[in-house]
Amino acid sequence: MRPLAIASVLVLAAPALADGLSAADKAAGWVSLFDGDDVDAWRGYRQEGFPQKGWEVVDGTLHVIGGGGGGDIISREQYGDFELEFEFKVGPKSNSGVIFRVTERHGATWQTGPEFQVLDDVGYGVDPLEPHAAGALYDLVSPSGNKVSKPAGEWNQGRIRLHDGLLQHWLNGVKTVEIRTDGHEWRELIAWSKFRGYEGFGVEPRGHIALQEHGDNVWYRNIRVRDLDAPLPGEVRLFNGSDLTGWKAVVPDLAAQNQDQSAPWRIQDGVLVCSGDPAGYIRTTDRFTNYVLKFEWRFNPVTKKPGNSGALLRVQEPDMVWPRSIEAQLMSGNAGDFWNIEAFTMKTDAARLNGRNTKKTHGAEFAIGEWNEYEIIVAGGDVTLKVNGEVVNHAWDAEEIAGFIALQSEGAEIHFRNIRLAPIN
């Protein structure tokens, strides 16, 4: 497991629409599962409709009524890889859980789906760092030592992300669980747990999201999810996997010698490979202003040599090394840093700012040679950087102008794939 970290970036809220989602949220693929009003996205476990008792919508919350006997509810949709955000409040000595990849092969949701534990630790007298405490992966993985849990009667923020076999929990902005679900360690955990006798537990590739009715008073609100297997809404594939259509190469040293400026770049098995030499970049031929940009990158998986590169945002002409833009850093160990190039107007956290560089809040990169994912949200004056699902930097009052998107050639071999964009309307 990698070290667990706290995400401390303040991201300014964009105007929300009727369902509580901003235009940027929608472009990033978020959909509401409960917006404080209707329960259309849910049904009872092994039922066609929503339970007639035990659950109620009150004051914008979805209330599990203590002693109501309504049973668990599940999302109508199923998810494989997903990201879920929700808020919850527990009554004194109350218990519940958010369970995922649930199928209906057994009598209860927890017999196939792993659980994000929702609990009043104090009321139950539970050690906050044991595997039945709030934020734990119930009965499998204990929460981290820097866990932050609000007491009964106060709202907590929960988050679950399951992507490419990596499962993560967050509680109130702190990562509490990180474990792979596709290897020996996962199988061993299940084999030694209470779940070992239930066929399909923890290995279903897709399933429902469930909210558990445990006989206690618990409230949920602001539940939203995104399907990480699905294309972004209105997605534009910037790289077609076979050639540099839609891109222009800018490598001044090669241009001066009347050589092909795209020489540092090649396509290998659908992956865009950059040798890193000479210095320069490729940029889109189209300009974009507001968008969600996602791509994956890695450094050479054989040599595992660290290196440098970057994604340049709102790139302005003239083409040169380096053009006026905002850089989302890709240097090994520094992915998530900002660089301000040619005095591009923007503001960042003064405590992390040194000249033109704004350091990331914390590291979220995988080991050198492994694939990483960047999600970059450029919305009006706000620019947010996410590395492997974690917010690591934020800028505001950025100059809102159309510009190109560029990928740097900067001294080391680097690979790119799944380069795509969703415009923010």
Beta bridge partners of 407: 282, 311
Token code pair at residue 164? 């490419």
φ, ψ for residue 319 (rounded to 5)? -70, 125
CATH of domain 30-227: 2.60.120.560
For domain 236-423, the question of CATH label 3.40.1080.10 is answered with: no
Q: Are 281 and 409 in contact (CB under 8 A)?
A: yes
In this prediction, residue 281 carries a pLDDT of 98
Q: Are 277 and 246 in contact (CB under 8 A)?
A: no
| Gap between the Cα atoms of 217 and 68, Å rounded | 9
In this prediction, residue 19 carries a pLDDT of 77
In this prediction, residue 20 carries a pLDDT of 85
Q: pTM of the prediction?
A: 0.94
In this prediction, residue 18 carries a pLDDT of 59
> Which of 413, 419, 402 has its CA nearest to residue 313?
402
Q: Are 218 and 89 in contact (CB under 8 A)?
A: yes
- The single-letter code of the amino acid at 398 is A
Per-residue HEC secondary structure of 101-142 comes to: EECCCCCCHHHCCCEEEEECHHHHCCCCCCCCCCCCECCCEC
**Residue 24 DSSP symbol:** H
| Gap between the Cα atoms of 187 and 414, Å rounded | 34
Torsion sign (Cα): 386, 360, 173, 3: positive
C-alpha separations of 261 from 255, 265, 300, 321, 405 in Å: 6, 9, 22, 13, 17
Residues of the chain short of pLDDT 50, as ranges, are: 1, 3, 6-13
The 10 Å Cβ neighbour count of residue 163 is 16
CA–chain centroid gap for 183, Å, is 22
Q: Are 395 and 346 in contact (CB under 8 A)?
A: yes
Task: Give CATH 2.60.120.560 domain extents, the chain.
Answer: 30-227, 236-423
What is the number of alpha carbons within 13 Å of residue 282 lying toward its C-beta?
24
Torsion sign (Cα): 12, 16, 20, 21: negative
Burial class (CB in 10 A: 0-12, 13-18, 19+), 167: buried
Per-residue HEC secondary structure of 344-410 comes to: CCCECCHHHEECCEECCCCCCCCCCCCCEEEEEEEECCEEEEEECCEEEEEEECCCCCCEEEEEEEC
Beta bridge partners of 267: 272
Per-residue pLDDT tens over the stretch 43-89 = 999 999 999 999 999 999 999 999 999 999 999 999 999 999 999 99
In this prediction, residue 15 carries a pLDDT of 58
Q: Are 64 and 118 in contact (CB under 8 A)?
A: no
In this prediction, residue 9 carries a pLDDT of 47
In this prediction, residue 11 carries a pLDDT of 47
The 10 Å Cβ neighbour count of residue 5 is 17
CA–chain centroid gap for 253, Å, is 38
Cα dihedral 270, 275, 278, 284, rounded to 10, equals: 20
Burial class (CB in 10 A: 0-12, 13-18, 19+), 56: middle
The 10 Å Cβ neighbour count of residue 67 is 8
In this prediction, residue 12 carries a pLDDT of 45
In this prediction, residue 32 carries a pLDDT of 98
Integer distance in angstroms from the first to the last C-alpha of the chain?
39
ω before 322 within 30° of 0 (cis)? Answer: yes
| Gap between the Cα atoms of 171 and 277, Å rounded | 43
Cα dihedral 33, 162, 384, 356, rounded to 10, equals: 170
